[in-house]
Amino acid sequence: MLVRWVSGVRRATVVLALTGSLVAGCATAEQGEVWDPLETPNRFLFALNKTLDTFILRPLAVTYRDLTPNGVQRGTRNVLNNLGEPVTAVNEAAQGEGTRAAQTLARFLINSTIGILGIFDVAKQIGLPHTKEDFGQTIGVWAKAPPEDGGPYLVLPLVGPSNARDAVGLLVDYLVDPFRIAAHHFDVDWLLYARAGVAAVDGRSRTLQALDDIEKNSVDFYSAVRSAYTQRRAAQIRERGVVAAAALPLDSVGRAEFGLAR
């Protein structure tokens, strides 16, 4: 049964990858530029997200960073990483990386038990480092288009920078997330909102200075974020299987840090 399920996932991945290739193939931007045919509405949504960040998310992140003990912050981050392991394992299997998928599941089992629900990253101490894969990356791995070409650039409400490929990936990751499925089944959807809120505040707290510097040093903050997002996603697709690094400056304005993508 497991073999049939994995095979089905891989077949679906190839279909979606081909779809992503067709979408990306419609791009008309010059090489090296980001295709942004919806720039006007994108800038509007970017400004809306920025306003919400300025008045809500950033103050919460500053308070969390300054008043929460480092050990608690580290444990919170470990729990969030642990909750994302099953989705990462699904994507690793879909990318044909069965060994890495097995290691990720082993990490999840070890940290959920010995690590006390993931508070402590015991798996890392025994040689199983944390990796991170999402379905946008999976489509990019199988697609024929260059990793930089994910279709039209998009700014999603509350989520931030994305593109056609990664928006599809965001939806698929949401649908296959076993914790989302369980929360709906047991009618405890509030846990999903709590998880998203904590992820947003934790991620934003780790990128406060970096994002301030980017905004201060860029002539056009929107364009700087658009370029950084595209380059970062391309690098993640090319470097699949690389151990997950610390949060990058883009994270707090990108999907992941708002808790909706991973």
Q: Rounded CA gap, 38 and 180, in Å?
A: 31
Query: What pLDDT sits at residue 241?
Result: 54
Q: Look at the chain and count its residues.
A: 262
Residue with tokens 């025994």: 126
Domains in the chain, number? 1
* Cα-trace Rg, the chain: 18
Q: Rounded CA gap, 244 and 211, in Å?
A: 20
Query: What pLDDT sits at residue 194?
Result: 97
pLDDT at 249 over 50: no
Query: What pLDDT sits at residue 31?
Result: 59
SS3 129: coil
Q: Rounded CA gap, 81 and 98, in Å?
A: 20
What would the two tokens of residue 152 be? Answer: 């039209």
Instruction: Say if CB 130 and CB 243 are below 8 A apart.
Output: yes
Q: Which residues pair with 153 in a beta bridge?
A: 163
Q: Rounded CA gap, 84 and 103, in Å?
A: 14
End-to-end CA distance of the chain: 26
Q: Rounded CA gap, 30 and 48, in Å?
A: 28
Query: What pLDDT sits at residue 210?
Result: 84
- Strand (E) or helix (H) holding 162: strand 160-163
The boundaries of the domain holding residue 89 are 2-258
pTM of the model: 0.81
Q: Where are the alpha helices (DSSP H) in 114-154?
A: 122-125, 135-142
Q: Rounded CA gap, 186 and 207, in Å?
A: 35
Angle at 245 between CA 240 and CA 250, to 5 degrees: 95
pLDDT tens profile 26-70:
444 555 689 999 999 999 999 999 999 999 999 999 999 999 999
- Strand (E) or helix (H) holding 167: helix 164-176
pLDDT tens profile 80-136:
999 999 999 999 999 999 999 999 999 999 999 999 999 999 999 999 999 999 999
% the chain with pLDDT above 70:
79
Q: Rounded CA gap, 103 and 121, in Å?
A: 14
Look at 2-11, 50-59, 251-260 and tell me which has the smallest mean pLDDT.
251-260
